[in-house]
Amino acid sequence: MELTTFWFIIIAVLWVGYLVLEGFDFGVGMLMAVLARDDTERRVLINTIGPVWDGNEVWLLVAGGATFAAFPEWYATLFSGFYLPLLLILVALIVRIIGIEFRSKRDEVSWRRRCDTAIVFGSVVPALLWGVALANIVRGVPIDADGEYVGGFFNLLNPYGLLGGLVTLSVFLVHGAFFVGLKTVGPIRERAIRLGLRAGVVAGALAVAFVVWTGLAQDSLAVWILGGLTVLAFVIGMLNALDRRDGRAFAGTAVAIALLVATLFSGLFPDVMPSSLDAAWSLTTTNAASTPYTLTIMSWVAVFFTPIVIGYQSWSYWVFRRRIGVHHIPV
């Protein structure tokens, strides 16, 4: 396997890790607006992700750093062309962090409501825009012969891109609901599962439409197979939620998100950013890559550090594996 292909796969795996883990963080954040009935239940929701949400964001940082080092041309075109949506995502993530970290600093109802609004905003915006961005990367964007993005922000708001955004938004909501079902006890758990099942019907329909559109556009057997497995995993998760098998329901949506990312990256390869103006101007794993020496050094670093990162994050999930309820929240 060529090093360029190896690092394309590594970056895809990093995006899988980020969207699976941060996906339920976004889902829980969105549920703050509709699931919790009082301040104590909102604190329960925050505590389900409290020990892990910041660690989940490490995957995004590593994915960005790996793209910069392994495919600098891809990184340059992506971050300059998608500057506005990425800036909106960054602002939303910062606002969410402020809401989570400072909510407990003051007891005023108005203060906590503003923090709750910040958490919801900081969850909805990235959940939507990540889908828009990924869908547009696969669809192709206007890139000229110099490898520069020559479109605007509204070029990204096309039907396929918006459908991709709605898919990630709705699937993350379901993923978050099933995570709450897995991590809580009492009435809030039951409401979370019921809400996840209702939202899952919409998310499933959107996902089927997106997979079919992607398959028709890419004309790739791998896309059809992975897309079909995506829908199957999501359906399995929903069926397990009906039987109140919380762990299997959450695993189903997690696998569905992972397979959806795999579907998009399989449709993208060997390009990393297709040009909608001329296929010859597309950025590929070959013309956008760093030197073989750089990729070799990066490979050794990844071999050494990746098990460490996975190990400490797995340990943190194990430590905070128990369910919580309103009776665990001090008055």
Tens-digit pLDDT profile for the chain (331 aa)?
A: 788 999 999 999 999 999 999 999 999 999 998 888 888 888 999 999 988 888 888 899 999 999 999 999 999 999 888 999 999 999 999 999 999 999 888 888 889 899 999 999 999 999 999 999 999 999 989 998 888 888 888 888 899 999 999 999 999 999 999 999 999 998 999 999 999 999 999 999 999 999 999 999 888 899 999 999 999 999 999 999 999 999 999 999 999 999 999 999 998 988 999 988 888 888 999 988 999 999 999 999 888 888 888 888 889 888 888 888 877 777 6
Report the predicted TM-score, pTM, of the whole model to 2 decimal places.
0.93
What pLDDT score was predicted for residue 148? 85
Task: Return the axis-axis angle of helices 159-183 and 187-218, rounded to nearest 10°.
Answer: 150
Q: Are 270 and 191 in contact (CB under 8 A)?
A: no
- Tokens at 180, concatenated: 């709450």
Distance in angstroms (rounded) separating the CA atoms of residues 106 and 111: 7
Residue 322 backbone zone (phi > 0: left; psi -120 to 50: alpha; other: beta):
beta
Query: What sign does the dihedral 92-93-97-100 (CA atoms) show?
Result: positive
What pLDDT score was predicted for residue 39? 85
* C-alpha torsion angle, residues 194, 228, 214, 193 (rounded to 10): 10
What pLDDT score was predicted for residue 331? 67
Residue 273 backbone zone (phi > 0: left; psi -120 to 50: alpha; other: beta):
beta
* C-alpha torsion angle, residues 146, 151, 157, 161 (rounded to 10): -10
For domain 3-309, give the CATH number. Answer: 1.20.1630.10
What pLDDT score was predicted for residue 106? 86
**Domain spans in the chain, listed from the N-terminal domain onward:** 3-309
Task: For residue 58, count other CB atoms closer than 10 A to its CB.
Answer: 17
What pLDDT score was predicted for residue 253? 96
Distance in angstroms (rounded) separating the CA atoms of residues 115 and 94: 12
